[in-house]
Amino acid sequence: MPLLLGVNIDHIATLRQARYANAPTSPNAEPCTVLAGQDALAGGADSLTIHVRGDRRHMQDADAYRIRAEMKVPLNLEMGVTEEMVGLALKLKPEFVCLVPENRMEITTEGGLNVLASFDKTRMVIARLQDAGIRVSVFIDPDLKQVEAAGEACADMIELHTGAFSNAAGDQVQVELDRLTVAAKEGHFSLQVNAGHGINYTNIAQILTIPHLAELNIGHSIIARATRIGLTAAVREMKDRMAAYTAGA
Ligand code: PXP
């Protein structure tokens, strides 16, 4: 199986909100998340990822419904484990949901979801989403206890948090890569293994040494590159790098 790419287009909405937070659906509001999604698809994105946060700092509910209605693309909704977001997911019916922790003051998702500490609630939310035909992933740190808890909570997939790896320097880089490798090896017996956070055009080479990966979710670096060469070309560049992956699921 080729390694799939989910392109996170939240930052398209971040840019729009910087000017149009009071009127995100006005005809003047740009850039358009649907057009960005189309550009990402043209570059080879396998799915689109959007995170509708509790504070609605970037993606709005209207973005989610428009993308769903106007695009034929597998949609991955990142969401906090809250009743409000379960309600949104059940109406939107994305193909996938990725459960993430949410903290109002964070710049971006900081740590993985503590599935162990929130086991009953997480297990119940997973079941409700799966009953609606949605495949569920949990975004976790590469920690074997969390991998095990994700399996016991009956998640379909885990997304391994690559943030500590991408922020590491010196000898710590290999330490973090080893943690990701061990977690992927353990996870793949019963779960689809994805990875994301902080992956860029340089560190992707090391990410490709992790075995059993099915999908990467990448946002910031692709959108940053898109400001120089356009989103379609930026996605294509990342897909070209990912084509070297041979350690697949
Ligand atoms: N995966 C998850 C669960 C995330 O929360 C994010 C950030 O929104 C990403 C992947 C993408 O991270 P980045 O923007 O650093 O590529």
Type of residue at 142: P
d(CA 92, CA 67) in angstroms, rounded, equals 10
Place 247 in a pLDDT band, splitting at 50, 70 and 90. confident
Q: Is 0.75 topped by the overall pTM? A: yes
Active site residues: 51, 78, 197
Mean pLDDT of the chain: 96
Q: Please give the pLDDT value at position 248.
A: 67
d(CA 100, CA 93) in angstroms, rounded, equals 17
pLDDT tens-digit profile of 55-91? 999 999 999 999 999 999 999 999 999 999 999 999 9
Write out the two tokens for 74: 């597998």
The more confidently predicted of residues 213 and 110 is 213
Place 109 in a pLDDT band, splitting at 50, 70 and 90. low
Q: Which atom of ligand 1 is nearest to the CA of 11?
A: 14
Q: Please give the pLDDT value at position 249.
A: 54
Domains of the chain (ranges, CATH numbers): 4-242 (3.20.20.70)
Q: Is any atom of ligand 1 closer than 6 Å to the C-beta of 51?
A: yes
Q: Name the residue with tokens 């990342």.
A: 238
Per-residue pLDDT, averaged over 130-137, amounts to 98
Percent helix, percent strand, percent coil in the chain, to nearest 5: 45, 15, 40
